[in-house]
Amino acid sequence: MPTPYTGASPLPVQRRESFCIGIMNGLTQREAFVQAGYTGSVRTGAWQIAKHPDVKKRIEYLRGKTADRVVLANAVTRSEIVESVRARRLKADTGVELMTKEGKPSGVCKPDFAAGNRADEILAKMHGFMLDVQKSDDFDGELDNMGTGEVQQLFLGLIDQLDPNARKMFVDRLKAEKPSAEPPAAEAGTEEPTLQ
């Protein structure tokens, strides 16, 4: 029985490995898709490669290694970062003391909700509860040109990146809202084409 792929070794398919390296170098999925030498529909092809389980594991592994190197280079541990963000969150909740016009403490504290929300966002990202989603410059109007099934598949792919269990909840909700509607193609048992 072969051991499952952990992401620690380069992918056996060179184009998939090149795609992962492109993502780690800051390219968008589409740019990494083209740079890796894939042809065909860039939009769907890049999405399919990005959701491949081995590609996900490799990118996750590379991101972890990069984060470890950055933390070591800065001589800061993850726990120190979390502790610092939590302290800022507490200060945001308790507030910042307001000063009088003369520059003396007024005794009144004003909570800083924006700083508190930002601290929550940082902690959520550090613990894997949020993804950093960047808006692509060439994304404007693309959803307008997609069919309902394509939008659902794109949405399901994004949900899979956040929480695999969320996909089932979304599909169940779609079925409950539109009982006569067909389930998305992936749920209907049709295989999606894979790129090599």
DSSP secondary structure of 68-94: HHHHHHTT--HHHHHHHHHHHHHHHHH
User: For the whole prediction, is pTM greater than 0.75?
Assistant: no
Give the residue from 140, 159, 175 where a domain finishes.
140
- Give the domain extent around 105: 76-140
Say yes or no: 6 and 66 in one domain: yes
Helices (H), 13-132: 14-24, 29-35, 42-50, 53-73, 78-94, 113-126
Same domain assignment for residues 84 and 70: no
Question: Are 160 and 196 in a shared domain?
Answer: yes
Mean residue pLDDT across the chain:
75
| pLDDT for residue 138 is more than 60 | no
User: 81 vs 184, which has greater pLDDT?
Assistant: 81
What pLDDT, on a 0 to 100 scale, did the predictor assign at position 128? 66
Q: What is the pLDDT of residues 51-100, one digit of tens each?
A: 999 999 999 988 888 766 655 555 556 677 778 777 777 777 777 677 77
